[in-house]
Amino acid sequence: MGEWGFLSSLLDAVQEHSPMVGRCWLLVMLLFRVLVLATVGSDVFEDEQEEFACNTRQPGCKPVCYDAAFPLSHYRFLVFHVLALSAPAALFLIFAVHQTAKAGLPAGRRARRLRRFYAGSVALRSAAEMLFLLGQPLLYGFRVPPLFVCRRRPCPHRVDCFVSRPTEKTVFIRFYFAVGLASALLSLAELGHLLRKSRTAPERIPTPGGAVPQPRPPVRAALDV
């Protein structure tokens, strides 16, 4: 888990700017993605290449067939998924530190910039969620087949290759896809909440003296006086 410590601290630092639905997304991300991938996922896929067995001893045939069966490892694909979801959070933290370091910037303007940039980071995260959710079934489907038939050179003929623990890997990728769906729904809900809040929040512009102007009384009330 040591290599995931920085990622966990990065995501945890963003929660102070998140609404409640964003904190729910963070909980799903850290508990059901980062933790599960770091503890269970590495054990499930660690023998993916070593235990990929083919019924031939032709030199070079096994690695070629493995490359045909898994152009991108399931585990690396899921790691890329987590990194893609964490990149918008990293950009937001860099922007927040930059805004805090600016001298003479009014607090209200800084808060508005942070809110807008955070909403943009959530939009990027939602787009990444949808892209990876579409990419997983296109690349792998929802089942890891126990048998892969290979006909590539330098294999001398049709070669049958066997995947280790296909049922366990099938359960894992289906579970991870279900977590991805829940995470995508939370991201879209957070984005909708931020957009709705930005539209309904009144824009209060301070006067040069620092006081916020009060609304004028209605014309009819003034005439009655």
Question: pLDDT tens-digit profile of 104-129?
Answer: 777 778 778 888 888 899 999 999 99
Q: Are 13 and 93 in contact (CB under 8 A)?
A: yes
Question: Residue for token digits 């620092």?
Answer: 210
Classify residue 43 by burial, with Cβ atoms within 10 Å: 0-12, 13-18, 19+. exposed
DSSP 159: E
Q: Specify the pLDDT at position 50.
A: 84
Q: Specify the pLDDT at position 16.
A: 65
- Name the amino acid, one letter, at 170: T
Judge if the upstream peptide bond of residue 145 is cis by omega within 30 degrees of 0: no
| Phi-psi sector, 104: left (phi>0), alpha (psi -120 to 50), beta | left
Specify the 3-state DSSP secondary structure of 54: strand
What are the residues facing 161 on neighbouring strands?
54, 148
Q: Specify the pLDDT at position 218.
A: 46
Q: Give the chain's mean pLDDT.
A: 80
Q: Which token pair is 23? A: 């904190």
Positions of the chain with pLDDT lower than 70, given as ranges: 1-17, 103, 201-225
Q: Specify the pLDDT at position 129.
A: 92
Q: Which token pair is 182? A: 């829940």
Classify domain 2-201 by CATH architecture. Up-down Bundle (1.20)
- Give CA–CA dist 99/17, Å, rounded: 14
Q: Specify the pLDDT at position 10.
A: 62
DSSP 29: I
Q: Specify the pLDDT at position 187.
A: 92
Q: Specify the pLDDT at position 203.
A: 45
- Give CA–CA dist 105/223, Å, rounded: 42
Q: Specify the pLDDT at position 178.
A: 93
Q: Where are the domains of the chain?
A: 2-201
Specify the 3-state DSSP secondary structure of 146: coil
